[in-house]
Amino acid sequence: MATATFNGRIIASSDDIEIVEGNAYFPIDSLAPEVRSDSSHSTFCPWKGKAAYWDITVDGETATDAAWYYPKPKKGATKAVADRVAFYPVVEVDL
């Protein structure tokens, strides 16, 4: 079981992980909805598409833009990243 932990709390866990470019992508529904909030930040990847971001907050501590996902991934990346979320290293991922 892979886990993602922030501020001492497991915020996501799943046996269904995709590793893409060294990042573990968890199913979006494995991320506790109460810890995430929308961010206005976005980035673009030539093969995955436009990434949207969430801030992660646990017990009053917020990691800005700590999680990203692809709302409409490009066709070639759909299997790998559709309906999945990955985390910056401020969130500890254990595989």
CA distance 86 to 48: 13
What integer is the mean pLDDT of 11-30? 97
Residues near 81 by beta carbon (within 8 Å), at least 6 away in sequence: 18, 20, 25, 48, 69, 70, 73
> What pLDDT is recorded for position 50?
97
Pair 47, 77: CB distance under 8 Å? yes
For residue 36, the tally of other CB atoms under 10 A from its CB is 20
Instruction: Give the pLDDT confidence of 33-86 residue by residue, as tens digits.
Output: 999 999 999 999 999 999 999 999 999 999 999 999 999 999 988 889 999 999
CATH superfamily of 2-94: Domain of unknown function (DUF427) (2.170.150.40)
